[in-house]
Amino acid sequence: MLASTPVLATLSPREQAMAASIEADYEPTIALLERLVNQNSGSMNIEGVKKVADMVRPELEALGFVVKWQPMDAARRAGHIIATHKGKAGTTRMLLIGHLDTVFEVDSPFQTFKREGDMASGPGVADDKGGVAVMLTALKAMKAAGTLKGANIEIVLTGDEEDVGEPKAVARADLIAAGKRADVALDFEGLAQQDGKDMGSIARRSSNSWTLTATGKSGHSSGIFSPAAGDGAVYELARIVTAFRKELPEQNLTFNAGLIGGGQSADVDKDGVRIAVTGKTNIIPPIAVAKGDFRTLSQEQTDRVMAKMKAIVESGHLNGTSATIDFDQGYPAMAPTQGNRALLGKLNAVNADLGLVAMPELNPLKRGAGDIAFVANDTDGLVGLGVTSSGDHSPAEVADLSSIKRQGKRAAILMSRLAREKAR
């Protein structure tokens, strides 16, 4: 009978040292995570985001990174951390992506880190302060093992991932520029799981929004549908939304009408999240507004869906009505590519050497939009090197702290191996 293979037997001595370092750094990493979580950094809490950056900055500087704070006053947001580590010339240039902000603003009742064993709750404990913690423990392990010295790494930690500043050309200029310099992008947002199995994410769908405005003639309801009075704005809006449901469905596309209002008046607030409506049951509504989103897996699909929605809106108007639709392209898509699959293959080689099971590809429908999509056209990428969790974006957000260990090991070993490869 053959003896079982010893754990970590296929790792090099330096890789074994990294794995041991991450085990030893577990409690200090959690202590840092607790400090990060207890500092509110809602996207609109400018000073709070800066304070989190001030906690992360010395951690990176101690590892030999040159750290820059890039203010984002022009985009009405706090700013970004941009950190660079120069290694051996001609080797893989890695871009590490994470974010400092959370969805929980200063008025949220959810403000405090709470731990029970290997589970912890708190605002951003997973998304994405847990991911930042994984990034740091992996880099510390690399430094301790001597593999960070030769690594070419640029880190961009955005301060507005949850609510991107405008104009996006300004808010994401530094990230996009970093993507053009990189050979590989590694995104430290949450690790996806399915049926208890860790999944590999090589794609993210886009996040786009639309605003539909229908108009009609105002008049007494007794005349509705007549040639003179017309059908009214609400029925025109209903025609279009119903046509969306029937005609738009296709693979990898989801679309939603999340906010609707119509009547004598329909005023959308400055944040686009409320519609103040007035009217009476006996008045034909002259205006109706709907707001929604749609998500795609490629820019080609985004363009095609917008064209199809526009055609539906502009054709077949009901009697006495008209309608227009406006689009806001938020996050672009990160399409699945062979380069991304090859990168997942390298991660699965690390998994095999760690004695972990291979990570299958995650269905893109199960992954939301994120910052890596802004660089997806310029470099190969992999998503999900942060912690695993549940309840993200809600007061039920809970992180599995034990995932810091395996995610840190995966990241440290993968980055160390990539650092030995030639640049594109």
Residue 219 belongs to what domain range?
A: 207-331
Say yes or no: 216 and 175 in one domain.
Answer: no
pLDDT at 270: 86
Say yes or no: 374 and 307 in one domain.
Answer: no
The angle that helices 338-354 and 403-418 make with each other, rounded to 10 degrees, is 120
- Of 298, 331, 364, the one marking the end of a domain is 331
List all residues 6 or more positions away from 184 whose beta carbon is below 8 Å from its beta carbon. Answer: 92, 93, 94, 95, 343, 379, 380, 381, 382, 418
The answer to the question of residue 152 being in a domain is yes
The answer to the question of residue 150 being in a domain is yes
Mean pLDDT per block of 10 residues along the chain (424 residues) reads 47 96 98 98 97 98 98 96 96 98 94 97 97 98 97 98 93 97 97 95 95 97 97 98 98 96 95 92 98 95 97 96 96 95 97 96 90 96 97 95 98 98 90
pLDDT at 9: 55
The answer to the question of residue 6 being in a domain is no
Encoding tokens for residue 94?
A: 């890695």
Say yes or no: 199 and 339 in one domain.
Answer: yes
Say yes or no: 50 and 159 in one domain.
Answer: yes
pLDDT at 344: 98
Residue 2, class by beta-carbon neighbours within 10 Å (0-12 exposed, 13-18 middle, 19+ buried)? exposed
pLDDT at 272: 85
Say yes or no: 111 and 77 in one domain.
Answer: yes
The answer to the question of residue 3 being in a domain is no
Residue 46, domain CATH? 3.40.630.10
- Of 331, 366, 398, the one marking the end of a domain is 331
Integer Cα distance of 130 and 124 in angstroms:
7
- Of 292, 315, 331, the one marking the end of a domain is 331
Say yes or no: 72 and 95 in one domain.
Answer: yes
Which phi and psi (to 5°) does residue 264 adopt? -65, -35
The answer to the question of residue 187 being in a domain is yes
pLDDT at 273: 84
The answer to the question of residue 4 being in a domain is no
Say yes or no: 173 and 292 in one domain.
Answer: no
From the list 420, 410, 402, 409, the residue with the least C-alpha distance to 348 is 410
Say yes or no: 244 and 276 in one domain.
Answer: yes
Say yes or no: 319 and 360 in one domain.
Answer: no
Say yes or no: 288 and 140 in one domain.
Answer: no
Say yes or no: 393 and 360 in one domain.
Answer: yes
The answer to the question of residue 8 being in a domain is no
pLDDT at 3: 39
Residue 300, domain CATH? 3.30.70.360
The answer to the question of residue 198 being in a domain is yes
Say yes or no: 55 and 110 in one domain.
Answer: yes
Number of domains into which the chain is organized: 2
